């Protein structure tokens, strides 16, 4: 049933549990979402462990309705605290003094320390143990512990933001604050003003994590500090005052952190020199270039060479065969982001495998059962066999691949010689792939090559030394 607000949903759930208060499944399903509605269920469910735990996990207020006999079982009390640490406040009084139970609650939610018995909470050794279990417990630790450097340092190791609970004088402790911002840069918001206004300290802090700059408005116009911050955080430029449109500054920024391109003005993201600097530093910066530059071959090539995944941000080139084959020679991983239809294209696959035989790992699975392609790949590098499907006679297959390798080597040395290419085709038809485009586009030559190919297929048994199956036609003349 659709509802317009949380209040309406709660009322509907209340009516549902009242109608089915004696149905365990209804009660269980309802209290999992609204634990406080346990009070609307029959009393027998108030002592049902599974129902109680489901209710408490949803809301600690469900504890008001739990049968006290259950809660006097320390093992069950532990399960309750694992389900909802804040339920400690509503457990029987003796639980608040139970070291193990309180620590279990604190481990789940540091605020639970507030509900520990004063006698237990005031013990420095126990409070320190609680802080080690959960740094948020420092908020409710005894005041002397908040001023204790060792105790605060323990909390900061777990969460730098625990600095907010430390005594005032420790917020000006240079070493402590640096450890805090290294653990979590947001801790800078809680540092003492004397440190936040100390330029030398700020330089040291931004070198640890540039994100601290967000909490240091006084230095948002300091060029040196912003550039230092960029070395560890691409967002640093977004905290600056007046630098997003400054080309000279932006160029320095791109050389330090290419991803900072996302934070400069739209005009600068159309600046080819600036974008080239950005993608040379980090190929993924292409995502933030202008649409025009995402269609610039020089820019995209630079980006993809730095990071193959950059191709996903240049849809214009994802199906560009010549560009992709050029990229594959740098890294076949670029195929992960190429057009899916192209990766199913046999002619493209021949070129991809020639550029890098490991392209087989990125091509459409059905192509790995193509005998011509696998022969072509194995002739280039026998590592191709790692990608092949079932081969009935591996030795014969490899022998044929070696024959193709010899024929291909002959054709590659003289790709424009009609006679030599035809000799290569006579040795193995697939060697024609390595002939020059001018020969392959010559109708008369194609006729001769086709005749030789047909002759070869008649002279050899269809299954001899290959994966060829009955459905496969004689090897086609692949286009370059």
Q: Is the pLDDT confidence value at 194 over 80?
A: yes
Tokens of 113: 């320390």
Residues 6 or more apart whose CB falls under 8 angstroms from that of 373 comprise 346, 349, 350, 353, 367
Report the pLDDT value the prediction gives residue 457, as an integer from 0 to 100.
64
**Residue 236 near residue 229, CB atoms below 8 Å:** yes
Q: Report the pLDDT averaged over residues 177-206.
A: 96
pLDDT tier at 21, thresholds 50, 70, 90: low
At residue 3, does pLDDT exceed 50? Answer: no
Residue 215 CB partners (closer than 8 Å, separation 6+): 185, 186, 188, 189, 191, 196
Overall average pLDDT of the 303-319 stretch: 96
- Which of 95-109, 178-192, 312-326, 458-472 comes out lowest in average pLDDT? 458-472
Least reliable range by pLDDT among 16-30, 292-306, 431-445: 16-30
Contact 76, 68 (CB under 8 A): no
In the predicted structure, residue 261 carries a pLDDT above the cut 80:
yes
**Other CB atoms closer than 10 Å to residue 20's CB: what's the count?**
15
Whether the pLDDT of residue 471 is over 80: the answer is: no
> Distance between CA atoms of 104 and 87, rounded to whole angstroms?
11
SS3 per residue for 388-421: CCCCCCHHHHHHHHHHHHHHHHHHHHCCCCHHHH
Residue 72: pLDDT band (50, 70, 90) is confident
Half-sphere exposure of 327 (CA within 13 A, CB side): 30
**% of the chain with per-residue pLDDT over 90:** 75
Residue 449 pLDDT: 82
Pick from 428, 320, 410: which is nearest to 371 by CA? Answer: 428
How far is 153 from 367, CA to CA, in rounded Å? 59
CA-to-CA dists, residue 342 to 35, 316, 322, 360, 363, angstroms: 55, 13, 12, 13, 9
Domain boundaries, given as residue ranges, for the chain? 147-239, 370-480
What mean pLDDT do residues 438-447 have?
Answer: 88
DSSP assignment of 88-137 equals GGGS-GGGGG-HHHHHHHHHH-GGGGGGS-HHHHT-HHHHHHHHHH-GGG
Q: Return the residue matching tokens 């540091």.
A: 110
Given a contact cutoff of 8 angstroms between Cβ atoms, the answer to whether 241 and 265 are in contact is no
DSSP-H helix ranges across 233-320 = 247-256, 272-281, 297-306
Largest CA distance in the chain: 101
Q: What is the pLDDT of residue 58?
A: 93
N-term to C-term CA, the chain: 61
User: Residue 475 has what DSSP assignment?
Assistant: P
Rounded Cα distance between 83 and 62, Å, is 12
Q: Do 375 and 430 form a contact (C-beta atoms < 8 A)?
A: yes
Query: Which tens digits make up the pLDDT trace of 348-360?
Result: 999 999 999 999 9
Length of the chain: 480
Where residue 242 falls (left for φ over 0; alpha for ψ -120 to 50; beta otherwise) is left
């Amino acid at each position: 049933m659709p509802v317009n607000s949380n209040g309406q949903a709660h009322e509907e759930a209340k009516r549902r549990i009242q109608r089915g208060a004696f149905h365990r499944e209804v009660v269980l399903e309802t209290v999992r979402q609204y634990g406080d509605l346990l009070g609307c269920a029959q009393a027998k469910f108030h002592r049902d462990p599974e129902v109680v735990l489901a209710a408490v996990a949803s809301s600690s207020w469900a504890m008001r309705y739990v049968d006290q006999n259950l809660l006097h079982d320390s093992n069950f009390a532990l399960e309750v605290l694992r389900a909802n640490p804040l339920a400690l406040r509503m457990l029987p009084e003796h639980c608040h003094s139970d070291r193990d139970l309180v620590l279990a609650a604190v481990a789940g939610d540091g605020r639970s320390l507030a509900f520990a018995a004063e006698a237990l909470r005031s013990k420095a050794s126990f409070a320190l143990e609680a802080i080690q279990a959960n740094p948020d417990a420092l908020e409710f630790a005894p005041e002397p512990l908040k001023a204790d450097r060792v105790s605060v340092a323990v909390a900061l190791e777990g969460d730098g933001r625990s600095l907010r609970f430390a005594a005032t004088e420790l917020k000006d402790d240079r070493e402590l604050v640096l450890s805090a911002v290294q653990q979590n840069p947001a801790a800078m918001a809680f540092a003492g003003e004397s440190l936040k206004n100390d330029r030398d300290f700020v330089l040291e802090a931004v070198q640890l994590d540039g994100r601290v700059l967000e909490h240091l408005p006084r230095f948002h116009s300091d060029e040196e500090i912003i550039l230092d911050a960029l070395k560890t955080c691409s967002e640093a430029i977004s905290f600056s005052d007046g630098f997003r449109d400054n080309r000279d500054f932006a160029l320095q920024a791109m050389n330090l952190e290419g991803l900072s391109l996302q934070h400069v003005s739209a005009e600068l993201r159309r600046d080819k020199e600036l974008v080239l600097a950005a993608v040379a530093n980090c190929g993924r910066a292409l995502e933030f270039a202008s649409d025009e530059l995402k269609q610039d071959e020089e820019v995209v090539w630079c980006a993809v060479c730095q990071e193959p995944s950059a191709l996903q941000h240049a849809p214009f080139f994802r199906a560009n065969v010549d560009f992709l084959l050029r990229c594959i020679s740098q890294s076949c991983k670029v195929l992960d982001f190429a057009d899916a239809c192209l990766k199913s294209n046999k002619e493209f696959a021949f070129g991809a495998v020639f550029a890098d035989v490991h392209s087989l790992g990125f091509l459409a699975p059905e192509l790995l059962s193509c005998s011509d392609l696998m022969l072509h790949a194995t002739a280039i590098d026998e590592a191709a066999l790692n990608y092949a499907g079932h081969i009935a006679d591996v030795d014969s297959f490899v022998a044929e691949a070696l024959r193709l390798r010899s024929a291909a080597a002959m054709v590659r040395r003289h790709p424009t010689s009609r006679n030599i290419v035809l000799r290569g085709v006579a040795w193995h038809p697939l060697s024609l792939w390595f002939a020059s485009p001018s020969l392959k586009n010559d109708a008369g030559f194609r006729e001769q090559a086709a005749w030789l190919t047909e002759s070869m297929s008649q002279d050899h048994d269809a299954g001899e030394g290959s994966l060829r199956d009955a459905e496969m036609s004689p090897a086609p003349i692949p286009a370059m």
